[in-house]
Amino acid sequence: MVYKQLVRPALFRLHGGDAERVHETTVGALAMLGSIRSLVELGRRVLPVRSTALERTVFGIRFPNPVGLAAGMDKDGRALPAWSALGFGFVEVGTVTRHAQPGNPRPRLFRLPSSEAVINRMGFNNAGAQALADRLARLGPLPAPLGISLGKSRVTPVAEAVEDYRSALRTLYPYGDYFAVNVSSPNTPGLRGLQDRGALTELLAELSATAATLARPQGARAKPLLVKIAPDLSEPAIAEVVEVCLEHGVSGLIATNTTLSRDGVAARDRAAAQEQGGLSGRPLTERARQVVAFVHGETGGRLPIIGVGGIMTPDDASRMFDAGASLVQLYTGFIYQGPGLVRRINRALAAGAVARSR
């Protein structure tokens, strides 16, 4: 209640309501707080919900709890120590590209408050794979698993996308616990075409081979590769993506990215909804759950799923798990509900597990 009644209104008014500047200020503040070790340790002792019922192992990785931070919130990994102190069981940084890039022209981030939604057309703005690798090398071991979302650089032609992804994977491989192959953002021209069977087959074959080669000197299994898909794909197209993923030993799917649809937007937000870009938040809740359920049915549970999209309450998270998700991620829900949402979801999951054990 404190966040929704006091903190959120103040944040939404900050910088004249410029959503991207508020985002940058928030991540910057968390980065500063995360640099104070005593505060981070205090947060880790007090804020996370601790229960063995929350622990789970998915695609070979142990997660202290199943609620993660989605890619896009902390693209360059600036605030990594702070996220686990807020209770997240894992963090996904990025989307990061081989080449540093500024992204699309501003303004490019818009709130739709009545819909509890956000539209973004950021365009993979990030400092590049090498800069992220340098930061992660300085940070050293992290307290929770780290995912790294990989995307195509805007300057790279689609025909050369494979090498672009491979280069980023090679640079960042020592630091990630898993890698998400983002072929579904609507904000990079031609990117969603990489979800087509032929292009995705070539990309996953090369990335899987690269991961295996990088793992060989350590005598370890290749780190998990996941594919992030769009909610706008038809069921036959999703089934085709799933088939390609299974053929190439992909470890899991992330469902879903933002949507181009404007279904479910409140009347008060219709003017803002005309902005181009991907929509996230409450209007995506049901579609994301449907995609997770469809993928789970297609694979018979053989392919773990990270469910993301419109998770605004503990009940939304519960329904996503019921649909077949092994883990969930927050982004827009975190913006509108605040860090307390992480605790509420984990408390609900822990209480449900205890109730089922009786």
**Cross-strand pairs, 120:** 109, 278
> Is residue 287 very low, low, confident or very high in pLDDT (cuts 50, 70, 90)?
very high
> Is residue 356 very low, low, confident or very high in pLDDT (cuts 50, 70, 90)?
low
Q: How far is 4 from 338, CA to CA, in rounded Å? A: 7
> Is residue 50 very low, low, confident or very high in pLDDT (cuts 50, 70, 90)?
confident
pLDDT at 248 over 80: yes
User: Which pLDDT value is given to residue 354?
Assistant: 53
Residue 87's contacts (CB-CB under 8 Å, 6 or more residues apart) are 47, 48, 49, 65, 67, 339, 342, 343, 346
215 is in an annotated binding site: no
187 is in an annotated binding site: yes
Percent share of the chain, pLDDT over 70: 98
104 is in an annotated binding site: no
Helix axes 37-46, 19-34, angle to 10 degrees: 100
Domains identified in the chain, total number: 1
User: Which pLDDT value is given to residue 195?
Assistant: 72
**Could you tell me the CATH number of the domain that includes residue 28?**
3.20.20.70
**Pairing label, strands 117-120, 278-281:** antiparallel
pLDDT at 118 over 60: yes
120 is in an annotated binding site: yes
Active site residues: 185
pLDDT at 39 over 80: yes
pLDDT digits (tens, 9 = 90+) for 62-92: 999 999 999 999 999 999 999 999 999 999 9
**Three-state SS at 60:** coil
Q: Which residue range is the domain that position 72 belongs to? A: 2-357
For the entire predicted model, the pTM comes to: 0.94
How far apart are the two ends of the chain, measured CA to CA in Å? 32
73 is in an annotated binding site: yes
